[in-house]
Amino acid sequence: MSEDIKTPDSQVDVDEMEKTDAEQDNLDQIEGIEATTSDAARPEGAVLEDDVAEANDNHDDDERTDNASEPAGEKHADDKSEPAGEEADTDEQIEPGKEDDQQDSTPLALDGVPVLADVAATVSDTENIPRFLTRDQYEQVGDDPDPLPSGFEVIDGGISATGGAQTPTVPDEESAPKEALPAKPEDGAAQAVAKAGAAIADAAASVGTMLSQGMGAVREVSAARRAHSEARDHLDELSQVIEENEDELTHRRDVEANYAQIVAEQTARQASCLESVRAAVAAQQAIAKTIDDLKQSLSAMKDADKATEKRLKSALDAAESQEASAREGANRLVRRVTDAQRGLESAKADRETNLAAARKAVESAQARLNALREEFAEIQRNPSANSAAYSVRGTELENDISDAAEQLRTAQEQLPRLTAELDQSIADAEAVVAEANKPIEEARSSFRDVSNATAEARDALDAARKDAETRQKELRSQINEQEKALKNQQKAQQEAQDDADNAAEILADANDIHAHPEITQQLAARIDSDKQYQAQQMQQVESLAATEKNVREQTRTSRLKFVGIVAAIVVAVALLIFCWTTFMK
C-alpha cells in the first residue's frame, strides 16, 4: 500500500516541466492552427449539421460564459484583443509587396501570447502550415496585388489579424463583374433584369460568405472550448492525485514518528484478539455439544409422547365404540317405551269412544221405547172408529214396544261388560308400559358410565397432547437459545479474527514504512514536483479560459448570423413542404 504512489497519467518529465508559459502557449497555438487547417479541408456540406449543433451549443455557452466570473488570466487576453465594432478603426492597410513582412511580423496566436521566433521557425521548417488572410485583408491590398507569399491563401470568415470579428463583405455595383452589364444600355428591360440577377448573385454570395464565416466561427469556438475543458479536467485529476499523495505522505510520516508505539499497541491487540478467538472456539464446541444433547432429548421425548398418544387414542376409540353401542341399546328401550305408551293412549281413546257409543245406544233404545209407549197409550185413550185399523195398529205397537224393551235391556246389559273389557285393555297397556320402563333406568345408568369413561379417555388424550406440546416447546426454546449463543460466539470469533488481521496489517504496513524511508522521501519529492506542474497547468487553464471567452466575444456576430441563416433556411424548407403538400391535396 505504501509503495503504490499515484501519479497523473500525463506527468511530464523534469526537462519538459521547465518550459516557460509562453512556450507552452505557443505549442497550443500551433496545434490550433493545424486543427483549423484540417477543418478547412473538409467540404462544407459534410459539416453543416455538426456546425449548426455546435453553434446552438456555443450560443448557450456564451450566455453562461458572459455571466461567469473572469479567470485570472483574462486580463492579459483582454489587453491584447479589441471589440469587433472597432475593427474598421484598427485594421492596418497592407501595401502591395509587403505582405511577407506583414505576415512574418504577425504572431501566430489565439489568446494574444506572442510566438517565440525559434518555435515559429521550427514549425515552418518541419511542417507545411498554411498562412491565411481574411477577405477584408486581401481586398485592402488592391485590385492587382503582388503575388501572395508562399503558403498563403485567401479564406472567408474567421478572425482578422486584429482579433475582431469579420463581417460579410457584400460587393457593390462597382465591384460587380463587368460581364453582368447589359450589352445594350438602351434596352431598359434587359438592364433591369441584369441588375436583378446581379443583386441576387450578390445576395447569394453574401449569404455564402456569412455561412462560411459562421461555420469557421463555430469551429473556432468549439476548439477553444474543447481545449479549455480538457485542460480543466487534467488539472482536476492532477489535484486529486496530489491530495491522495499528500494523505499518503502524512500517514507515512505519522507511522514513522510513532513506530515503536504502534508496534507495541498492535502486537498486544493482536495477541488479545487471538486469545478471544480461541475462547470463542472453545465456547462454540461446548454449545454445540449441548445442542446435540438437547436434540437427542427432544427426539426421545417425541417418541415417548407419540407412544402415549397412540395408547390413549386406542382407549378412547374403545370407549367411544362402547358408548355408541350403549346409546343404540338405550335408543331401542326408549322406542319400546314409546310404543307401549302409544298403545296405552290408544286403549284409553278406544275406551272412551266405545263407552260413549254404548251409552248412546242405551239412550236411543230408551227414547224409542218411550215414544212407542206414548203412542200406544194415545191409541188406548182415543180408539178409532175403524176397529180393524185400530186392532192392527195396536198389535204393531205392542210388538214394537216388546222389541224396544228387549233392545234396551240388551244395551243396558252390554254397557257394564264393555266397560269391564275396556278397563282390562287399559290395564294391560299400562302393564306393558311399566314393563318397558323397567330397563330404562338401568340402561341410562350404564350409558352414563360409558359416557363418563369416554369423556375421561378423551380428556386424558387431550391432556397428554398438551403436556407433550408444552415440554417439546420448552426443549425447542432451549435449543434455539443455544443456537443463538452459538451464532453470537461465531460472530465474536469473526470480529476478533478481523481485529487480529487488521492489527497484523497495521504492523506489516508500519514495518514496511519503517524499513523503506526512501519511499517517503521520493513521495515528498514527487508531491513538490506535482505542485509545480499544477501551478503551470493552472496558468495554462486560466489562459485557455481567457482565450475561449475572447474567441466567443469576437465570433458572436458571425455565429448568430449563421444560426439565423440556418433557421431561415429550415423555416423556408418547411413552408415549401407545407405549401407543396397543401396544393397536392
Residue 547's pLDDT is 87
Which amino acid, one-letter code, is at 277?
V
**Which of 330, 353, 349, 351 is CA-nearest to residue 341?**
349
pLDDT tens figures, 552-582: 888 888 788 888 888 888 988 998 898 888 8
Is the predicted pLDDT of residue 167 greater than 60, yes or no?
no
Is the predicted pLDDT of residue 117 greater than 60, yes or no?
no
Contacts of residues 43-52 at CB distance under 8 Å and 24 or more positions apart, as own/partner, are 44/211, 44/212, 44/215, 47/215, 47/219, 48/215, 48/566, 51/214, 51/215, 51/218, 51/219, 51/562, 52/562, 52/563, 52/566
What b/e string do you get for 331-366 counting C-beta neighbours within 10 Å, with b at 16 or more? eebeebbeebbebbeebeeebeebeeebeebbeebb
| Cell (9 digits) for 346 | 290408544
277 three-state secondary structure: helix
Note whether 135 and 209 are within 8 A (CB): yes
Residue 463's pLDDT is 92
> What pTM did the predictor assign?
0.38
pLDDT tens figures, 91-104: 333 333 333 333 33
Q: Report CA dihedral (446, 448, 452, 454) to the nearest 10 degrees.
A: 70
pLDDT tens figures, 207-237: 777 777 777 778 888 888 898 889 889 999 9
Residue 293's pLDDT is 93
**Which of 248, 73, 90, 242 is CA-nearest to residue 161?**
90
Distance in angstroms (rounded) separating the CA atoms of residues 252 and 510: 8
Q: Sign of dihedral through CA atoms 486, 490, 491, 493?
A: positive
Would you place residue 183 in the very low, low, confident or very high pLDDT band (cuts 50, 70, 90)? very low
Query: Between these two residues, 381 and 121, which has the higher pLDDT value?
Result: 381
Query: Between these two residues, 533 and 4, which has the higher pLDDT value?
Result: 533
Residue 426's pLDDT is 83
Mean pLDDT of 504-517: 91
Note whether 214 and 561 are within 8 A (CB): yes
Distance in angstroms (rounded) separating the CA atoms of residues 412 and 394: 27
Q: Which residues contact 520 (CB under 8 A, 6 or more apart)?
A: 249, 252, 253, 256, 513
pLDDT tens figures, 466-478: 999 999 999 999 9
Mean pLDDT of 349-358: 82
Is the predicted pLDDT of residue 512 greater than 60, yes or no?
yes
| Cell (9 digits) for 248 | 499518503
Contacts of residues 151-157 at CB distance under 8 Å and 24 or more positions apart, as own/partner, are 152/99, 152/103, 155/40, 155/212, 155/216, 156/208, 156/209, 156/212, 156/213, 156/216, 157/209, 157/212, 157/213, 157/214, 157/215, 157/216, 157/217, 157/558
Distance in angstroms (rounded) separating the CA atoms of residues 114 and 20: 13
Is the predicted pLDDT of residue 148 greater than 50, yes or no?
no
Residue 2's pLDDT is 40
Distance in angstroms (rounded) separating the CA atoms of residues 115 and 387: 192
pLDDT mean across residues, the chain:
71
Residue 328's pLDDT is 82
Distance in angstroms (rounded) separating the CA atoms of residues 29 and 107: 10
Residue 203's pLDDT is 66
Q: Which residues contact 37 (CB under 8 A, 6 or more apart)?
A: 129, 130
Residue 4's pLDDT is 43
pLDDT tens figures, 280-336: 999 999 999 999 999 999 999 999 999 999 999 998 888 888 888 888 877 888 888
Residue 128's pLDDT is 39
What whole-number percentage of the chain has pLDDT above 70?
64
Would you place residue 57 in the very low, low, confident or very high pLDDT band (cuts 50, 70, 90)? low
| Cell (9 digits) for 191 | 438592364
Q: Helix, strand, coil proportions of the chain in percent (round to 5)?
A: 80, 0, 15
164 three-state secondary structure: coil
**Which of 549, 526, 26 is CA-nearest to residue 238?**
526
Mean pLDDT of 483-512: 93
Indicate the helix (H) or strand (E) that contains 12: none
- Say how many residues make up the chain: 585
According to DSSP, residue 43 is labeled -
Q: Report CA dihedral (140, 144, 146, 152) to the nearest 10 degrees.
A: 60
Mean pLDDT of 529-540: 90
133 three-state secondary structure: strand
Minimum mean pLDDT range among 51-60, 323-332, 415-424: 51-60
| Cell (9 digits) for 245 | 499523495
Domains and CATH numbers, the chain: 14-247+518-584 (no CATH), 261-514 (1.10.287)
Distance in angstroms (rounded) separating the CA atoms of residues 228 and 58: 14
Instruction: Provide the β-strand partners of residue 132.
Output: 153
Distance in angstroms (rounded) separating the CA atoms of residues 208 and 204: 6
| Cβ neighbours around 12 below 10 Å, total | 14
Distance in angstroms (rounded) separating the CA atoms of residues 97 and 404: 187
Distance in angstroms (rounded) separating the CA atoms of residues 313 and 318: 9
For helices 259-381 and 387-515, what crossing angle results, to 10°? Answer: 180
Query: Between these two residues, 367 and 16, which has the higher pLDDT value?
Result: 367
Would you place residue 144 in the very low, low, confident or very high pLDDT band (cuts 50, 70, 90)? very low
